[in-house]
Amino acid sequence: MIRFHKEGYKIIVITFILAITSILLADRFIEIFWLQKIVQVFILVLLVTVLQFFRNPTRKTVLDENTVVAPVDGKVVVIEEVEEPEYFKDKRLQVSIFMSPINVHVTRYAMGGTVKYSKYHPGKYLVAWHPKASTENERTTVVLNNSSFGEVLYRQIAGALAKRIVNYAKKDDKVIQGTDAGFIKFGSRVDLYFPLGTELTIKLGDKVKGGTQVIAKK
């Protein structure tokens, strides 16, 4: 059975009503048969696109404080040492995962522990792969802490289409690895910042699966 994320309920209902209404109007007012069918098929494709975007498949996470799992589905597009200017203000190992429109967009906690920091930043809507997206786009920054990795930061970043980031993490929350941490509506990328020397189990270009695939370990 297909499950949908709660953040999509309202949009799904509105889209479904508009789709049915538009199909009926096309049937009534478009007299050219082939044009009528093209319009109706296009409407159905849009409906299916919205449904698949908000799908929320069940993922079984193997809980392990010595591992970090991918927080989202997508493709690893950045692995490099960078200066993290907001929280750590020093060099960290950055891993960026880009989500295409067909990926599951649920954000999951990459590791269990305590939320040490959670902040929302309004911003621009540059394309997700733009070099300045992680510092200038709308984004949320969350820092998790556990006894194995210490502090690990992840950042939800909006893209050109994303207009809303949902973040459930609150400071001092105790969170469980793999559980629901938020959602990026029509959105785009997540950056993680690890301590230097962290052992990664993925490489540039890999496609990862949120909540289940280990991306770093001790």
Nearest-CA neighbor of 116 among 139, 138, 142, 93? 142
Rounded CA separation 171/181 (Å): 13
Q: Is position 134 annotated as part of the catalytic site? A: no
Place of tokens 């929350």: 173
Catalytic-labelled residue, pool 134, 147, 148, 188: 188
The residues that are catalytic are 188
